[in-house]
Homo-oligomer: A and B are copies of this chain.
């Protein structure tokens, strides 16, 4: 069990990591803000899905997701087809233009990270990824995705079948401090 001083330092680091995120956001195309990039990235990684799934993955409210999705749809990067199984739902999927944009995004962020983290070892990057994944999981992130198994393993993209429609298994976690932790991404109406 860690001490108070450590927790305060961790809180400080979390607060300060915003500068890194903004640096990463600055290299995005002008018509593709970070929210749009996140939508494209998740659709590219996990394949077609419904709004509610995407909201879960983005870890933001459905209303926020709706805005981001509308933005990328306006630019023709995704399409929203009706869900035959539920007429209230829409299935989101990347268009070829969206795939192209995604590739551009990937190229840009990889270029920047290659520059910035040139002196990091493979293991160090991996460790940071693992710890951040675990951090999110520890925060009761029921939106943390386990595409294959709902075990305690960190979220990974579907390795061999990245285009399969995701079925998110909610991580079973009993919140203690925040008993009203939202189990959905929805604002109670």
Contacts and interface: CB of A to CB of B under 8 A. Distances in A.
A126 B127 CA distance: 12
A116 B139 contact: yes
Among A15, A112, A133, A143, residue most surrounded by chain B Cβ atoms (within 10 Å): A15
Q: Interface SS of chain A: helix, strand, loop or mixed?
A: helix
A111 to B, nearest CB: 7
Interface string A34-46: 1001100100010
A interface, how many residues as a size bin? 35 or more
A59 interface: yes
Nearest to A38: B15
A168 B73 CA distance: 46
Contacts of A109: 7-8, 11
Contacts of A111: 177
Nearest to A126: B6
Identical chains in the assembly: 2
Interface in A116-136: 116-122, 124-129, 131-136
A82 B125 CA distance: 45
Nearest to A59: B19
A23 interface: yes
Contacts of A176: 115
Interface of A: 1-4, 6-21, 23-24, 34, 37-38, 41, 45, 58-60, 106, 109-122, 124-129, 131-136, 138-141, 143, 176-177
